[in-house]
Structure 1
């Protein structure tokens, strides 16, 4: 018998394989193309994050989207809404600042609404590390601000920021973030330093206004030609914004720092007392109770007027934002920090804690009064701690352009109160958007 060689069998097999292989490939190729076209493989998010993004500081994927209010949300949006509806409301008060390599949505040149004194980038601030932090709440996540979500939730609405320069600071932050998706048109301005302005986003018919009202109540500010103190009427709302309430759908109130100035207070047509008014023969009563009365008067006016017009309103009261002066205001190094405080390194205490408590207590009392009326939603925007933890976020000497171009001068004015734009104050508007989103989801669920 002959012996069959195994190598001879393998040779015949390989020859047959070579002949059949092209036909097999030709048969599989259309199937593979069909499969990939209709069922593409998922692209890992981690891979997307590694792709180059030359304009990341200006726009993110979400803000550059061309979606509109009529677009269908992706499947993840439904799961996010369901998650919001079922979860316990997030407490954004407690958390820590964590490094964020993505940076802000905008920079100092991408929107034209930043007040010169807060445009730290164009004024030459050399350290830009303060731009790369995000607030991480202790028990939940705070999503990145999405301007299109804001537009869709607030289409055809009028949003008003009412208060002092911190209200204006927050307003300009919001305008800059929204401008990455749709440009705001300035339609009205009035008053010294344009303290009363209004913008319109034609894409979604949204109006955004700012009302200068540093006490919320009727007040007469000190001047060079008049008394060297402010005058407040704590039981009378400031009608410069109060008279427009019927046209406002959402209001963000912000006061605090102006109550530190000398003032005489009136209630019921009589002098109530004063704060730091030597020589005027009035009783010194400080400012805490007066600030409380002012907030109470403002919230009472909002509830009474909006409960009768039937349109409802969303109300935010921003808590006190601490300053970070560590030296003399007119010397270099007044607020020298270049990174956030670590958890436990700085506590909310003293005046900061007292002013925060007043805002929270008065808003909680107003919530109880508003429960009997439909369409009134009130919330404290508690930013005191997260702001306290950011001593690096102020303009400092860069409130003026290139303050050290000719070397360090003997006197250099510093702003350790307001916030650079972009900067930590952008987080305030992130929180506002998340609260509005939750309100919207819960409202739909109750329908």
Structure 2
């Protein structure tokens, strides 16, 4: 059972005294409830420009590129009164997807549904539209400028890896050839952008706290043992990172089953996501949106002695039954065989997401919040 009181508390036992820390807690979903936190460290902001915020192994002396002030227009600012997590998915085949699967070389085969044989691409053309306001369109150059001289790290399991890859794909199109690279240092992946002296990183830690499943490739799902009061092992690797994005949920489940019923996925096979091509329409509250857990998390956040923001993207993701990898992904590192694809009841993956897809929206929301904070400071 997920102990929310112990996890966030342990994660904040080593605050940096000379920095003002802002936490954002996203609740993301991949047909299930995905808990997370984002720590955004914004300090020494003057004249709408970022200053150097962190010591790193990357030499500042080598940063010969000029920083560019970010011009944030009024239509790019999320109104304070607007709840961006309440809205609807609207069809948009003009401006979406934000990138193409075949133009981003950093996607792993687990999420490349088109390349893996999925016959439709409709899932790529849906845009999240909040009620009464708009999200700013993702601007890769502005995102990179906000990340200049900083580290952004996504921490969690393979769902979080999808969000990491999404962010990399969202920004890589504007980076000069040869100026970016992926470094694999298990359990981490590091995407370096030399011109901006920045990195976007992924760190495998499915429980956030220490567990027997912490090895990046050799881990178990069914036999799960965790140390609820131990975060030191992981903390050492994310210490000093400017923006931390945590997620965890499915690994805390007693059994690796998704929390969805046949009535939610009517078009599927025996209640799974196979052959689903349209989002859920109309008023809807998904079974994965656990109000009890949300309430507990809210109470814990209120007890923390730091600025905290809750980004609850659970429900908006639950509408997207059409965007899962289904039988067009992989299992245990290998693509499904033709025989396995013919048995969706046994092999359809209704947890992970195709890319481009829903994780891009998570990053659009993150971008909007960062842009809002940037302008306000």
Give the TM-score taking structure 2 as reference length: 0.69
1:130, 1:339 within 8 Å by CA — same for their partners in 2?
yes
How does 1:37-52 map onto structure 2 within 5 Å? none
Question: SS where residue 235 of structure 1 aligns?
Answer: coil
Superposed CA offset, 1:305-339 (max 9, x none): xxxxxxxxxxxxxxxx9768859x99896433211
From 216, 224, 231, the counterpart of 1:230: 224
Question: SS where residue 203 of structure 2 aligns?
Answer: strand
Q: 1:436 corresponds to which residue?
A: 370
Superposed CA offset, 1:132-175 (max 9, x none): 11000112101221111101112111111111222111111111
Matched, 1:409 2:342: yes
Measure, in 2, the Cα distance between the counterparts of 1:133 and 1:428: 13
From 235, 243, 246, the counterpart of 1:253: 246
How does 1:322-341 map onto structure 2 within 5 Å? 326=265, 334-341=273-280
Measure, in 2, the Cα distance between the counterparts of 1:227 and 1:170: 21
Q: 1:297 corresponds to which residue?
A: none
Q: 2:358 corresponds to which residue?
A: 424
Measure, in 1, the Cα distance between the counterparts of 2:222 and 2:98: 42
> Could you say which structure has the larger radius of gyration?
1
From 297, 300, 322, the counterpart of 1:392: 322
Q: 1:64 corresponds to which residue?
A: none
* Change in 2 beyond 3 A, CA 1:227/1:180: closer
Q: CA RMSD in A?
A: 3.5
From 119, 126, 131, the counterpart of 1:126: 119
2:155, 2:244 within 8 Å by CA — same for their partners in 1?
yes
Between Structure 1 and Structure 2, the one with more strand by share is 2
Q: 1:363 corresponds to which residue?
A: 301
Question: SS where residue 118 of structure 1 aligns?
Answer: coil
How does 1:258-277 map onto structure 2 within 5 Å? 258-261=251-254
Question: SS where residue 170 of structure 1 aligns?
Answer: helix
Question: SS where residue 221 of structure 1 aligns?
Answer: coil
Q: 1:45 corresponds to which residue?
A: none
* Change in 2 beyond 3 A, CA 1:421/1:78: closer
1:322, 1:352 within 8 Å by CA — same for their partners in 2?
no
1:222, 1:229 within 8 Å by CA — same for their partners in 2?
no
Q: 1:88 corresponds to which residue?
A: 80
From 177, 180, 185, the counterpart of 1:184: 180
From 141, 164, 168, the counterpart of 2:134: 141
How does 1:92-171 map onto structure 2 within 5 Å? 92-102=84-94, 103-171=96-164
Give the TM-score taking structure 1 as reference length: 0.59
State the Cα distance separating 1:364 from its structure 2 match: 3.9
Question: SS where residue 167 of structure 1 aligns?
Answer: helix
* Change in 2 beyond 3 A, CA 1:244/1:227: closer
Q: Gaps spanning 5+ residues in structure 1: where? A: 1-67, 264-320, 372-377
2:162, 2:353 within 8 Å by CA — same for their partners in 1?
yes
* Change in 2 beyond 3 A, CA 1:389/1:408: closer
Superposed CA offset, 1:188-219 (max 9, x none): 322xxxx4211111121111111111111111
Between Structure 1 and Structure 2, the one with more helix by share is 1
Q: 1:379 corresponds to which residue?
A: 309
Q: 1:214 corresponds to which residue?
A: 206
Question: SS where residue 150 of structure 1 aligns?
Answer: helix
Q: Number of matched residues?
A: 299
Measure, in 2, the Cα distance between the counterparts of 1:228 and 1:257: 11
